[in-house]
C-alpha cells in the first residue's frame, strides 16, 4: 500500500522550492487489499466443503423413532449434611424414597439423575441412596461435585508438579 505522487494539473507557474510541482498522494491504495481478500474468499469457498468429515452412505429407512433429546430436566436427589434426603426441593423420608422414585420414574421419559451429597455424609449413606435410585429404575446416575478441590498429588488445584 504505497503512496504515489500526483502531478499538479495545469498552470505554467512553478514554485521555486519544488521541482515539477508534484505533491505526495495521501490516499491509501486499497486495490492490493481487495485482491488478497478475494483470493482468500475463493480459497475458503473451495476448502469448506472438503472440511466435512464422514463417508457418504445411503442410510436405510426404518419405522423407528428418533432418539429423544434433552427435553426434560434431570432429576436431582440431594443428601444434606444432616442426612436428609430431598428430591428436587422436597424432603422425603427414607422409608418412602423408593416408592416416590418409582412414581417419578413412571412419569418421566429419561432415567438421568444427579445425586448431590454433602461432604460430611458417610459413604454408606450415599451408596444406600444410589441403590434406592437403581431399584426404582434410575440407572443413569451422575455424582455432582465442585471443582478446585484437592488432587491426588496433594495440590489444591489439580495441577501436576
Instruction: Select, from the ranges 13-17, 39-43, 119-123, the one with the highest average predicted confidence (pLDDT).
Output: 39-43
Nearest C-alpha neighbor of 105 from the set 78, 135, 129: 135
Query: Is residue 3 over pLDDT 90?
Result: no
pLDDT at 127: 92
Query: Are the C-beta atoms of residues 70 and 108 closer than 8 Å to each other?
Result: no
Instruction: Select, from the ranges 17-21, 112-116, 156-160, the one with the highest average predicted confidence (pLDDT).
Output: 112-116
Taking the alpha carbons at both ends of the chain, their separation in whole angstroms is: 50
Match 471443582 to its residue by C-alpha cell.
147
Q: What is the mean pLDDT of residues 127-142?
A: 89
Confidence class of residue 11 from pLDDT cuts 50, 70 and 90?
low
Domain boundaries defined on the chain:
75-145
Confidence class of residue 75 from pLDDT cuts 50, 70 and 90?
confident
pLDDT at 38: 95
Query: Is residue 86 over pLDDT 60?
Result: yes
Confidence class of residue 25 from pLDDT cuts 50, 70 and 90?
confident
pTM of the model: 0.51
Between CA 79 and CA 128 the distance in angstroms is: 11
Q: Which residue has the higher pLDDT, 73 or 18?
A: 73
pLDDT at 161: 47
- Classify 75-145 by CATH class: alpha beta
**Facing residues of 144 across strands?**
none
Nearest C-alpha neighbor of 115 from the set 71, 75, 73: 75
pLDDT at 13: 55
Residue % of the chain over a pLDDT of 90: 11
Sign of torsion over alpha carbons 84, 87, 90, 95: negative
Amino acid at each position: 500500500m504505497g503512496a504515489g505522487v500526483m502531478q499538479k494539473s495545469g498552470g505554467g507557474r512553478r514554485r521555486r522550492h519544488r521541482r515539477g510541482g508534484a505533491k505526495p498522494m495521501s490516499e491509501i491504495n486499497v486495490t492490493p487489499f481487495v485482491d488478497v481478500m478475494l483470493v482468500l474468499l475463493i480459497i475458503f469457498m473451495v476448502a469448506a466443503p472438503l472440511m466435512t468429515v464422514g463417508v457418504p452412505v445411503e442410510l436405510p429407512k426404518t419405522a423407528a423413532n428418533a432418539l429423544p433429546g434433552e427435553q426434560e430436566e434431570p432429576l436431582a436427589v440431594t443428601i444434606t449434611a444432616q442426612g436428609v434426603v430431598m428430591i428436587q426441593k422436597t424432603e422425603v423420608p427414607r422409608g418412602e424414597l423408593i416408592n416416590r422414585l418409582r412414581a417419578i420414574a413412571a412419569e418421566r421419559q429419561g432415567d438421568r439423575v444427579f445425586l448431590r451429597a454433602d461432604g460430611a455424609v458417610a459413604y454408606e449413606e450415599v451408596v444406600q441412596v444410589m441403590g434406592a435410585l437403581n431399584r426404582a429404575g434410575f440407572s443413569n446416575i451422575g455424582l455432582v461435585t465442585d471443582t478446585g478441590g484437592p488432587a491426588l498429588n496433594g495440590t489444591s488445584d489439580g495441577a501436576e508438579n
